[in-house]
Amino acid sequence: MDPTRVRRNVERPLPSPAQHETIDWQGDDDPQNPSNWNLQKKWLVTLTACTGTFLVGLNATGYTGAGLAIAEHFNIKSDTSFDHSFWPVTAWNAGATIVPMVLLPVGEAFGIRPVYLTSYLLFTLFVVPQAVAPNFATMVVCRFIAGSFGGTLQNIIDSGIADIWRDPRERDLPVTLFVFALVFGVTFGPVFGGLIAESLHWRWYGTLPNSYATSLKPARIFYIQLIIYGAFSPLVYFFMPETRGPVILTHRAKALQKKADNTLVITSSETPPPISVARILQAAVIRPAHLLTTEPVIFFFTLWSAFAFGLVFISTQSIALVYSTTYGFTEPQTGLVQTSVCVGELIGCLACIPQNAYYLRSAGRNRQTPGKPLPEARLLLSVPASVFGLAAGLFWYGWTSRSSIPWIVPTVGLGFTGFGIMIIIHAVGMYITDSYARYAASAIAGIAFGENLFAAVLPLAAGAMYGRLGFAWASSLLGFVALALSCAPVVLLFKGESIRSRSKFMKEASYDG
């Protein structure tokens, strides 16, 4: 062996050990920290997210504005025992029930922006096969897939709003607007579909020459939605930045790592844990299921909120049946009746503003954690809204739906139900977030699962229930259920502090500061 070669190998310097550097936010006023964004940027992101949530809801229920016409086109027969035309809406909600439970934890680990953009793209793409579906089965399957990504878009925004609005005094209004956008979107869907069906026909070629109708595949009302989603996509791309702090820091660390030499390893102080199947299951299924089955508050509030949300979808069925039978309304006209529920929800949204102010003033009465508002203060308006809004509105709607009574009278009752629906869903989400703090995401996931499950299943029985019990008693049955579930907030208003002191999860939350 050449001795010079040996000498060169011996004299070669050993590599220096790698050095580690951990980066964090550059002080409390780091401009890249989402909680430090200026108000203009925060509101731009919030309003873009709320608008997207509203638009996604149109696809969930806009179908019902021409549901019977579409069913007739596909030769789908229904009877008094079961309405098969509602399967596409059930499929949408079924997808929104299942898939987001997996995608939301992925968003927490890898970032909300990539999950949101990917879901929005896939959701928009699956509006196309809804328009050109050659048969009913294709329509149902495509609606399930669209609902899977649409439900993800609706649910992931809640986390994004929490990331940028950390101060409860500032967060209440954005969250209220988000809840309103969520509920109003699915409620306005039949109105949207009815307007399109009334003016353009659901196949949207009634005003075109016959040559176009025969030479081109008939475009359906879903094309209108596709135009809207396409026009909104630039706003989604430019005005939906990443809001997850740990993900932003991780991206910053990777950017610095590329500029550093190989001996410097840069990591983030909030690097998210590696995602795994076990972690996805824990975040998406195990903990929400555990909270749902062991925490009575979450169990009964899930029933209460899910029932209220399910009524939005039941109304799309019952209104069509009641107003077409009793008053001779056409299907598009029955869709327009849904406007009354929308008006009630708008009034409910405005009523949430003084409710939020009352909640903040309750901090002086909190003996458990002084200086922090009482979670039960979130429920003050929900009790009369549930009893005199939801339940009374259902009774009013049911017993005035007669040909001898003008159609506007039961329509006013529907407005009361819309008011109750908005207040209840808002109160449940806000109360659970305040009471369970670090477990709030899992608790809300369980409630969202219940809401979408009820929205998927309950309306399937609406036709049989209203057909067999009659309009008055079918709505009365729903009213009695609403009255029974109204006991949940009443109990918490009087025993809330005692219940929180006995709950392991709530006690841990009370020390989160």
CATH superfamily label, 291-513: MFS general substrate transporter like domains (1.20.1250.20)
pLDDT digits (tens, 9 = 90+) for 347-361: 999 999 999 999 999
What is the C-alpha to C-alpha distance for residues 44 and 238, in angstroms, rounded to an integer? Answer: 10
What CATH number should be reported for the domain whose range is 35-260? 1.20.1250.20
Q: At 133, is the pLDDT very low, low, confident or very high (cuts 50, 70, 90)?
A: confident
Looking at the DSSP assignment, which residues form a beta bridge with residue 82?
79
pLDDT digits (tens, 9 = 90+) for 353-388: 999 999 999 988 887 777 889 999 999 999 999 999
| Cβ–Cβ < 8 Å for 316, 64 | yes
Helix axes 440-457, 408-436, angle to 10 degrees: 150
Task: Please compute the mean of the pLDDT values over residues 232-252 and round it to a whole number.
Answer: 91
The CATH 1.20.1250.20 domain(s) of the chain lie at: 35-260, 291-513
Q: Which two tokens stand for residue 358?
A: 């009352």
pLDDT digits (tens, 9 = 90+) for 46-75: 999 999 999 999 999 988 877 777 887 788
Given this model, what pLDDT does residue 59 score?
A: 93
Closest CA to 475 of 464, 465, 460, 485: 465
| Cβ–Cβ < 8 Å for 346, 493 | no
Residue 66 DSSP one-character state = G
Given this model, what pLDDT does residue 210 score?
A: 43
Q: 259-283 as b/e, with b when 16 or more CB fall inside 10 Å?
A: eeeeeeebebebebeeeeeebbeeb
Which of 12-26, 162-176, 492-506: highest mean pLDDT?
A: 162-176
Q: Following DSSP, what letter does each residue of 469-482 receive, concatenated?
A: H-HHHHHHHHHHHH
Q: Mapped to the 3 state alphabet, what secondary structure does 183-194 carry?
A: HHHHHHHHHHHH
Q: What are phi and psi of 270, to 5 degrees?
A: -120, 35
Q: Which two tokens stand for residue 79?
A: 């009877």
Given this model, what pLDDT does residue 418 score?
A: 97
User: Rounded mean pLDDT of the chain?
Assistant: 85
pLDDT at 237 over 70: yes
Burial class, 199, CB count within 10 angstroms (exposed 0-12 / middle 13-18 / buried 19+):
exposed
Residues 6+ apart with CB under 8 A from 420: 308, 344, 348, 385, 386, 389, 390, 391, 393, 482
Task: Please compute the mean of the pLDDT values over residues 273-294 and round it to a whole number.
Answer: 78
Instruction: List, in sequence order, the alpha helices (H) in 65-217.
Output: 67-73, 87-98, 100-110, 112-125, 128-132, 136-164, 168-200, 210-215
